[in-house]
Amino acid sequence: MKCCYCQKPIIKNLTIKELVQQKKSVELCWECAKLFTPLSIENRCDGCQKSLLKSESKSTHSQKTFCTDCLYWQERYPTYDFCHQSFFKYDEAMQTWFQQYKFIGDIRLAGTFAKQWQSLPKRFPDYRFCPIPLSNERLAQRGFNQVSQMLKVSGVTFQLLLKRVKHHSAQAQHSRAKRLAMPQPFALCVDPEQIKQCKILLIDDVYTTGQTLFHAASCLAEHQPTKIRTFSLAR
């Protein structure tokens, strides 16, 4: 077995189940695993898991504390039930990984965080998992949807409920103000009856301003799902 990131051999005692499934298994070696920082729940925004600074944290009521970003979104989407979660901190190590996987296009890295993605069905039972779609232009350029590919390699069932009808240049090329001002890029691509009274988990790679996920959520919310939650690999 090799590390799915650095490709170095992983030496460990395998169980019978692991021996049988060895060809399909993907795993990080110990050295690579410790590169990535899991998000803690301490001193975090209850809406998006952003690390809170004393100067910016504000409470909407006695039991929850929201960052200034989430307070902004609550003004724009007053009926939306805020709850975003992520696995890891978007730090230098994660940026390096994304550069190799997403921008250079090393699709072999899609299984790097398979163990984490495989935990989603237990964390969100009875939810439909919907990855954020790419535009046709971006898909042709990159060759794969980075979120769908991670879920596929991890063996996590998902469904494409949305399509991107407007192509924008990469988010990293825009200032924060321009990201927040971007128009709705999504449209529903299934019969509305398929999502009515359903629980939906929208999944993206990175949560930055939240604009992409809020656009996607608002598009779905028009068709009366029971609940919408959002999730990303990194925050």
Together in a domain, 127 and 68: yes
pLDDT at 175 over 80: no
| Cβ atoms < 10 Å from Cβ of 1 | 15
Q: How far apart are CA 206 and CA 203, in angstroms?
A: 9
What does the DSSP 8-state code read for residue 10? Answer: P
**Per-residue confidence at 79, pLDDT binned at 50, 70, 90?**
confident
Give the number of domains in the chain. 2
Provide the strand spans (E) within 50-118.
58-61, 64-66, 84-88
Q: What amino acid is encoded at 80 in this protein?
A: Y
Together in a domain, 53 and 137: yes
User: What average pLDDT does this structure show over 172-198?
Assistant: 82
Together in a domain, 47 and 19: no
* Phi, psi dihedral angles at 200 (to 5 degrees): -125, 135
For 16, the domain range is 1-34
CATH code of residue 210: 3.40.50
| Bridge partners (DSSP) listed for residue 162 | 188
Together in a domain, 19 and 54: no
Which tokens in the block code for residue 99?
Answer: 């550069």
User: How confident is the model at residue 97, as a pLDDT?
Assistant: 98
Together in a domain, 24 and 47: no
Together in a domain, 3 and 82: no
pLDDT (tens digit per residue) in 133-168: 999 999 999 999 999 999 999 999 999 999 999 766
pLDDT (tens digit per residue) in 52-65: 876 655 555 557 88
Of the CA atoms within 13 Å of residue 103, those in its CB half-sphere come to 10
pTM above 0.75, yes or no: yes
Q: Among 106, 113, 99, 130, which residue's Cα sits nearest to residue 36?
A: 113
pLDDT (tens digit per residue) in 210-235: 999 999 999 999 999 999 999 999 99
Q: What amino acid is encoded at 213 in this protein?
A: L
User: How confident is the model at residue 5, as a pLDDT?
Assistant: 93
Together in a domain, 175 and 67: yes
Reduce the DSSP state of residue 230 to 3 states and report it.
strand
Together in a domain, 196 and 165: yes
